[in-house]
Amino acid sequence: MIKKHTFIDLFSGCGGLSLGFEMAGFTSLLAIDNWKDALTTYAYNRETARTLCGDLSTLDPYKIKEDYNISNVDVIIGGPPCQGFSVAGKRIIEDERNTLYKSFVKFVDYFHPKAFVMENVPNILSIGNGLVKKSIIHDFEKLGYKVSVQVLMASDYGVPQNRRRAVFVGLADGREFVFPETIKTKKVTSYEALSDLTENSVPDGSPYPIEATSDYQRYARMGSSGIYNHDITIHNDKTKEIIAMVPDGGNYKDLPIELQQTRKVHIAWTRLCSTKPSITIDTGHRHHFHYKWNRIPTVRESARIQSFPDEFIFLCSKTSQYKQVGNAVPPLMAKAVAQQLCNTLCRKRPCHTKPNSIRKTNT
């Protein structure tokens, strides 16, 4: 029996990144986050999940290893918030606001996994003319990792959303990680993702009203007993009138001039385009509207846009559910990275190359 690679997910949220790794055959040892709602959803969707709610800046990796009987970690994954990354005048590791980023580094240092995967916003690579990027790479190189970084577009990996994320991958054996190739088939559109879901709310567990009409819908329905989290938001009449003026794929520029400034954000009154992947969804979803219906997407529709399968059910308040979905890494994009990483770890390192470090892995 082939041993599955293991991982710890730091700043896990509800588990989009974890789900992608699980889809690729990895086994979760522990998920850590400081938001109880997200971990409630994380645990509900995994029978054997182990979660820890706490502030990573104060958690001791040694104590976690002992408390959870963790003997070996193959990969550490996560997306630490990095508020201090805007300070480009000094090394980010020294910025006191980056205690969460430093916690990620600390866990990698202690467990010294075979690899780590860290994701963040794309502009992390350009802040300070690249100083932040160089600092991150330097911090992990000091621990013995060969670091590769690339901005990935979620729609290139089967996700019906044009969401970009910067992904750092480090390998402890000195090899350079090669990011997965993009899918060659046509990108999944908003229509292909959502057209089988109803205009109005349905009770949790309701059967699908029609047969799946696209490969993506068939993927989304796999393993699901019905529709969950499809509770529409009721807008007032004025809001619905304004939404109705915006065509499929349009935005505030399609409104009469006197209505264009009713919301002071550039993404205001934006409809999804039925013939393209969705624009990047956020945690509030108050400015993005369904390509056809005069309302914002439901939590289930938002989860579809993020590539969560329908069997993944979101818990706690609806506001919390939206935030959980919006904060997540798209699972299908995570799966592509995880599969590539699994293939890399399973291939033996050529004997004529030398690793960056002779440091021994903790056991």
| Contact in structure between 81 and 100 (CB atoms under 8 Å) | yes
Q: Per the residue annotation, which of 82, 273, 316, 342 is the catalytic one?
A: 82
Measuring CA to CA, which residue among 345, 329, 357, 332 is closest to residue 118? 329
Number of alpha carbons in the 13 Å side-chain half-sphere of residue 198: 17
Place of tokens 């996560």: 78
Coil, helix or strand at residue 299:
helix
| Contact in structure between 10 and 29 (CB atoms under 8 Å) | no
Distances (CA, A) of 287 to 193, 251, 338: 19, 10, 32
Which regions of the chain does DSSP assign to beta strands (E)? 6-10, 27-33, 51-53, 75-78, 115-120, 146-153, 164-171, 270-271, 288-289
Question: From CA 177, how far away is CA 168, in angstroms rounded?
Answer: 10
Query: How is residue 329 written in tokens?
Result: 């890494």
Question: From CA 177, how far away is CA 172, in angstroms rounded?
Answer: 11
Question: From CA 282, how far away is CA 96, in angstroms rounded?
Answer: 27
Query: How is residue 241 written in tokens?
Result: 């009138």
**What sign has the CA pseudo-torsion 338, 23, 203, 289?**
positive
For residue 346, indicate whether it is catalytic.
Answer: no
DSSP letters spanning 33-79: ES-HHHHHHHHHT-TT--EEES-TTT--HHHHHHHTT----SEEEE-
* Polymer length of the chain: 363
Query: How is residue 269 written in tokens?
Result: 């009154």
Question: From CA 7, how far away is CA 32, in angstroms rounded?
Answer: 12
What's at 39, amino acid-wise?
L
Place of tokens 């963790």: 70
Which amino acids are annotated catalytic?
Answer: 82
